[in-house]
């Protein structure tokens, strides 16, 4: 194969933000370890696994920069809801990909409701989610679930 074909094939195997599968797979494995540790109820293992995940994230951010996939992953596993909210806001401030925006908005709105953030902020983020979700899609159903959860809170 020529050099251009090799380059094309290597890009095809990257995440949308250019993170190589060789770098992404250990992060996925570390995330699963955190989930399993959390489900086991072993707080020492959970803390250790979370620190290892954040160490991997730190290294990938040095290599790839503050890209949405890494920021969102950090937010997903942050033990501090306020930090997670700020991280999701950071993703939304710099992201144009619709799928990434929907996922970040869903997570953000969930946290905002749980943390009993201001109504105006929750309602504006719900409106944004409604606007970019297509009716009769899983995203629309999630929007409706979040709207109901907000109204019941």
Beta-carbon count within 10 A of 68 CB: 21
Closest by alpha carbon to 133, among 103, 153, 109, 111? 103
pLDDT recorded at residue 16: 64
pTM exceeds 0.75, yes or no: yes
**Calpha distance 53→44 (Å, rounded):** 14
**Calpha distance 95→78 (Å, rounded):** 20
Per-residue pLDDT of the chain (153 residues; tens, 9 = 90+): 444 334 333 444 557 688 998 999 999 999 999 999 999 998 998 899 999 999 999 999 999 999 999 999 999 999 999 999 999 999 999 888 898 999 999 999 999 999 999 999 999 999 999 999 999 999 999 999 999 999 998
pLDDT recorded at residue 2: 46
pLDDT recorded at residue 4: 39
110 touches 93 (CB < 8 A) = no
pLDDT recorded at residue 153: 85
**Calpha distance 153→150 (Å, rounded):** 5
106 touches 88 (CB < 8 A) = no
Q: Is 139 exposed, middle or buried (0-12, 13-18, 19+ CB in 10 A)?
A: buried
């Amino acid at each position: 194969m020529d050099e251009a074909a090799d380059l094309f094939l290597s890009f095809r195997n990257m995440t949308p933000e250019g993170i190589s599968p060789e770098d992404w797979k250990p992060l996925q494995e570390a995330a699963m370890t955190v989930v399993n540790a959390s489900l086991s109820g072993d707080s020492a293992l959970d803390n250790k696994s979370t620190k290892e995940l954040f160490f991997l994230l730190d290294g990938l951010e040095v290599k790839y920069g503050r890209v949405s996939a890494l920021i969102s992953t950090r937010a997903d596993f942050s033990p501090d809801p306020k930090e997670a909210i700020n991280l999701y806001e950071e993703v939304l401030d710099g992201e144009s990909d619709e799928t990434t925006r929907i996922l970040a908005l869903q997570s953000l709105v969930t946290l905002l409701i749980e943390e009993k953030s201001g109504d105006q902020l929750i309602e504006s983020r719900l409106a944004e989610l409604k606007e970019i979700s297509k009716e009769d899609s899983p995203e629309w159903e999630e929007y409706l679930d979040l709207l109901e959860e907000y109204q019941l809170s």
